[in-house]
Amino acid sequence: MTNADNFPLAQAIAGRVSVRQFKPAPIPEEHLRAMLSAAVQAPSAGNRQPWRFLVVRHADLRQRLAQAAHGQSFVAAAPVAIVVLADLPRTESRYGSRGTSLYALQDTAAAIQNILLTAVSLGYGTCWVGAFAEDQATAALDLPPALRPVAIIAVGVPAGAPRPRERRPLEEVVEFRD
């Protein structure tokens, strides 16, 4: 049996931590496109692909997003914030209210994880921000009602080496039923 820890994906998963201090270095568009290309490869219910992505490089708009994120200033300090949106009608048209209340969120979460792991593999740090005032983010981004902001991802070159957090052991969280 192969040791999965030696594979690049396993290393990216193990190396992913939330980064809240960034260098001001810009992120090349090709790297952003690589992250977003990975995002759209995520699975989605019925292949509806209900995601949209706003890449925010404008400093004033990142500041408004930081304010919407309850003053989490690292959102403004990062050179890029990727706002992940759920295109609710894409899922609702097939799955009704369950599509908008659950599937669209699951689908965008899978896309978010792909962004995070691709960013790590390219040497960037990220922080997935879910704590924000949805109405304020919607207003700051001038979003139509069909698009729901699901997450703000701060992306940049880490300013330091954040410590990995402890994870609960498998024995505590996994149960096999044969």
pLDDT in tens, 105-133: 999 999 999 999 999 999 999 999 999 99
Residue pair 175/110 in contact (Cβ under 8 Å)? The answer is no
Per-residue pLDDT averaged across 83-104, rounded?
97
pLDDT-wise least confident of 40-54, 81-95, 106-120, 155-169: 155-169
Give one DSSP letter per residue of 54-110, joined into a string. Answer: EEE--HHHHHHHHHHTTT-THHHHSSEEEEEEEEHHHHHHHHHHHIIIIIHHHHHHH
Residue pair 110/132 in contact (Cβ under 8 Å)? The answer is no
How does pLDDT run across 50-77, given as a tens digit for each residue?
999 999 999 999 999 999 999 999 999 9
Residue 170, pLDDT above cutoff 70: yes
More confident residue, 6 or 3: 6
Q: Which distant-in-sequence residues (6+ apart) come within 8 Å of 90 by Cβ? A: 48, 49, 50, 104
pLDDT more than 70, % of the chain: 97
Question: pTM of whole model > 0.85?
Answer: yes
C-beta atoms surrounding 137 within 10 Å? 23
- The two tokens of residue 133 are 């005032």
Task: Give me the helix-helix angle, 104-121 and 8-15, nearest 10°.
Answer: 100
β-sheet bridge partners, residue 166: none
What domains sit in the chain, N to C, each tagged with a CATH number? 22-157 (3.40.109.10)
Distance, CA of 122 to CA of 13 (rounded, Å): 13
CA-wise closest residue to 127 among 173, 171, 59, 75: 75
Residue 1, pLDDT above cutoff 70: no
Distances (CA, A) of 172 to 5, 164, 168, 177, 178: 20, 19, 7, 15, 18
